[in-house]
Amino acid sequence: MTETLAQWLNVIGILVCVLTIAAMLTWAERRLLALWQERYGPNRVGPFGLLQPLADVIKLMNKEDWIPPMADRPVFVIAPAMAMVTAMAAFVVVPITPRIGIVDRLDIGLLFFLAMTALTVYGVAVGGWASNSKYSLLGGVRSAAQMISYEVFMGLALMGVVILAGSFDLRQIVIAQQGLWYAVLQPVGMILFFVAGVAGIHRLPFDLPEAENELVAGFHTEYSSMKFGMFFVGEYVGMVLLASMVTVLYLGGWDGPLLPPILWFLLKMGSILVLLVLLRAALPRPRYDQLMAMGWKIMLPLSLLNLMATGGALLAIKGPLTS
């Protein structure tokens, strides 16, 4: 009985925490962007502007929920839900501390994560198609192409980690990093995975699908009110997911000397989130063909080289497997 109760607590707790962190991330992003632009962010609504996400949610809910006349209705309504649900579903396999985490042991954990991030392409592409508008369609098609091409080398870059840890299970990967983090052993792999992740959640500098000054608003031009809110939350949940995956796979997860494991996890995840906001503040947006060229011509060969180097080094050190 207490076993199921603990399990339910885990699930609901992690869900609530992820959504809260994603909402507070909107506040944190605006304050950090303002800090790096020599101004204050929202600081009027609550103490330090902390109630700003609440004000945004109330505003979004009061907007008129409009569906374009020629749109494909059921698909139009489901697309934002797809984007948000697949991003949240990937949290099932993320091990937060030795005791907190929805799944205790899933032998294909990393593959499950890759599958869920691949499914987020559906939400975007389908949303762009169902809107029945030129801008949305172009945005959706571009976004789908970008996400697919960057996911190719995301998987390959992760193979380096799998080779070192010997397992796809995320908990095993964290435990295998107890002595030395994989950020030290796989720096190229970490950078490749991070870049691929940023492109996968279509965030600056890869946010052509939704850039405000490019395609009106890209694939979510025709969305308003809570549907737009769900796309929005889905994007921030994707940021939290990317940050937690980078800490789990490359930064040692909950590992750390003095503080409790949950605090280490949150610290590492928080610094990756700050890095993501800094990327948005500092970098210009590449053109679409430059983006695709970089993905296929530079990142993919690099990930293959990384894989070969990791495999070769491990073979040289440990000798061939004899079993």
Partner 1 sequence: MWSTLRSLWLVFRFGFRRRVTVQYPEEQPYLPPRYRGRIILSRDPDGEERCVSCYLCAAACPVDCIALQKTEDGSGRWYPESFRINFSRCIFCGMCEEACPTYAIQLIPDFEMCEYDRQELVYEKEDLLISGTGKYPGYSFWRVAGKAIAHKDKGEAENESPPVDVRSLLP
**Residues making contact with partner 1 (CB under 8 A):** 34-40, 278-279, 281-283
- Cβ distance to partner 1 smaller for residue 263 or 282: 282
Query: For residues 40 and 66, which CB has a smaller minimum distance to partner 1 in the complex?
Result: 40
3-state secondary structure of 55: helix
39/318 with CB nearer partner 1: 39
User: Rounded to whole angstroms, what are the CA distances from 160 to 56, 90, 193, 268?
Assistant: 41, 21, 10, 21
- Our CB check for partner 1 shows the closer of 46 and 311 to be 46
- What is the smallest separation between the CB atom of 38 and partner 1, expressed in angstroms? 5
**Residue 248 beta carbon to partner 1: minimum distance, rounded to whole angstroms:** 24
How does DSSP classify residue 293? H
Q: Is 72 helix (H, G, I), strand (E, B) or coil?
A: coil
d(CA 115, CA 110): 9
Burial of 27 by CB count in 10 Å (0-12 exposed, 13-18 middle, 19+ buried)? buried
To partner 1, the closest distance from the beta carbon of 34 in angstroms equals 8
CA dihedral of 310, 159, 208, 82, whole degrees rounded to 10:
-170
Residue nearer to partner 1 on the CB measure, 43 or 167? 43
257 vs 284 by CB, closer to partner 1: 284
d(C-alpha 198, C-alpha 209), whole Å: 13
Question: Least Å distance between CB 39 and partner 1?
Answer: 5
State the DSSP code for 201: T
- CB of residue 275 to partner 1, shortest distance in Å: 8
Q: For the CB of residue 89, give the shortest distance to partner 1 in the complex, in Å.
A: 32
